[in-house]
Amino acid sequence: MKRNMYVACTCAALAAAAACASSDDEPGLVAQAPDSGVTIPNEGDAEGPPADAGADSDDAAIDAGPLCSPAGWCATSLPDSDLTLLDLWAFPGTALAIATSPTVGVRVLEWTDAAGAWRYIDDNTQNESGRGRFVGKLWASSPDELYFTVAPRTVFRGERGGSPATWAWTHWDLEDRIPAYAPAFQFPDHYKGLPRHRVTAVEHAALGVFGTSASDVYAWFGNAIYKLSSDDAGLPSWGVEYVAADVDRPDEQLFFTAAAGTGPDDMWFAGGRTGNPTDVRACAIVVHKTSAGYRRVADAVGIAPPPPFPPPPPTPRCGPRPDTVLIEDPSGYTSFFTDIAVESASSVVALNGHYALARITVSGDDYAASALTIPPNVASRPVVSLWTTPSEPLWLGGTNVVARGDDVWDGGAFAISTISLNGAWLDTAVHRIRGSSSSDRWAVGARYALHKTTP
């Protein structure tokens, strides 16, 4: 049956500063900040915004101790001070994370409430044989089984067992389905799993892993989606399930950056299509896997800017593609999707670049999309991660900001959830927010792993 597609673009009045009008000025290029470190200004220092600049707080002051923010985000003990935590999966009483460091490379860590500290659990093979130039997503089916991905296209699985319990690690290299491209010399991995966002200059790994159970695990690399299965001899391997190869021009690439889902018949894969590292044409794509198989439900056609100079936004960069939803960007800066999460039984929410959100709903054979601009007080610098579940509000993370959104699609608002420590501004890149419950949330990034055990 042919699926009907509908799209609606709406701007929610999230705050006075979050009007639907977009600026005529394109934001300047922002340097990527995976290792930005921490700057705590002296009292009265004029550099940097105050801890709660221009936003409501989601919490009254909480007496949570000297290493906690007023909103209850508490610093935890890391084994090395120069770690940048990039992804995390949480369970009650424990969490698993992946990090990079200029001194110790890519490392995998475990937190336990009982120990009150992080420890390394990997065997360091992820730093051998040319691996580890960049890190993709991490997923865990339980506190005793973990998957993570590292460049060039390797999936690692760790399993804990035995007495005493120890971690055993195996890995696979995914099949490379990326077409051949002319080299992008300034950004050599742009066409090899690390596409660059043209507006903000942030690079996003098109490499990751996600699952809904121990027997339902997926990976993606570049333009391909894979699923883990076992052969007749019981040996596991990754089989190619879906390839997005319908480029419209020689320098255009399609890729996936994130996944979410609730089961083998409800998986969502988000990403985009874009050209060379300076191309202004960037459009979102979404593939939905159901019992009927894989279907491209959102896509677009890149629109070339008129010469000699591209006009400022909101000049369209993406046009409709037959039988798919066109994802609008109300901020005017069209982009690919950089993160996605399941919001309800019939909807997902995605981060569209770094300044806008999109919501995709499904009802039978009908898909619809709506969009809103992230308020400037939250997105004064690129927002790089989101997290929600059917029982949680929408959380966003960026550079020196964590924000909580309640009912934002129905007239609600975002509020800054302050991460300042001892009243000092914490200038750290928050790469991942995730939790196991409303009293167990994490915000991790450059040199910090912040744990919130308050609602």
The two tokens of residue 274 are: 């874009």
Indicate the pLDDT class of residue 46, thresholds 50, 70 and 90: very low
* CA–CA gap between residue 118 and residue 126 (Å, rounded): 19
Q: What residues contact 453, with CB distance under 8 A and at least 6 apart?
A: 72, 74, 439, 440, 441
pLDDT value of residue 8: 47
Asked whether residue 40 carries a pLDDT value surpassing 60, the answer given is no
Our separate counts of H helices and E strands in the chain read 0, 31
Domains of the chain: 4-17+30-306+318-429 (2.130.10.10)
Span 8-19, average pLDDT: 36
In this predicted structure, the answer to whether residue 349 has a pLDDT above a threshold of 60 is: yes
Please give the average per-residue pLDDT across 342-371, as a whole number. 95
Average pLDDT of span 405-422: 94
Q: What are the pLDDT digits (tens) for 253-301?
A: 999 999 999 999 999 999 999 999 988 889 999 999 999 999 999 999 9
Helix locations, 106-249, DSSP H = none
Pull the structure tokens for residue 166.
């120890």
For residue 64, pLDDT beyond 80 = no
409: DSSP letter: G
SS3 of residue 125 by DSSP: helix
Residue 347: its H or E element = strand 347-352
pLDDT interval class at 162 (50, 70, 90): confident
Query: 3-class DSSP state for residue 410?
Result: helix
Structure tokens at 369: 């999309």
Average pLDDT over residues 317-328: 92
Yes or no: say if 264 and 212 are a contact pair by the CB < 8 Å rule.
Answer: yes
What average pLDDT score do residues 375-400 get? Answer: 94
- Lowest-confidence region among 115-124, 274-283, 430-439: 274-283
CA distances from 64 to 90, 424, 433 (A): 21, 15, 20
Whole-number percent of the chain with pLDDT over 70: 83
Band (53; pLDDT cuts 50, 70, 90) = very low
Q: What is the pLDDT of residue 256?
A: 98
Residue 127 token pair: 């730093």
**Of 413 and 455, which is predicted with more confidence?**
413
List the single range of 7-21, 93-107, 321-335, 378-392 with lowest mean pLDDT.
Answer: 7-21
Lowest mean pLDDT among 113-122, 193-202, 279-288: 193-202
Residue 22 has pLDDT above 60, yes or no: no
Residue 105: enclosing H or E segment and its boundaries? none
Q: What is the CA radius of gyration of the chain?
A: 21
Average pLDDT of the chain is: 85
The average pLDDT across 346-365 equals: 95
- Return the higher-pLDDT residue of 6 and 311: 311
Tokens read off for 366: 């009908």
Q: What is the average pLDDT across 33-58? A: 34
Looking only at the bridges linking them, the beta strands covering 318-319 and 337-344 are unpaired
pLDDT range class, residue 310, cuts 50, 70, 90: low
**Between 156 and 25, where is the model more confident?**
156
Residue 279 CA from chain centroid, whole number: 22
pTM: 0.86
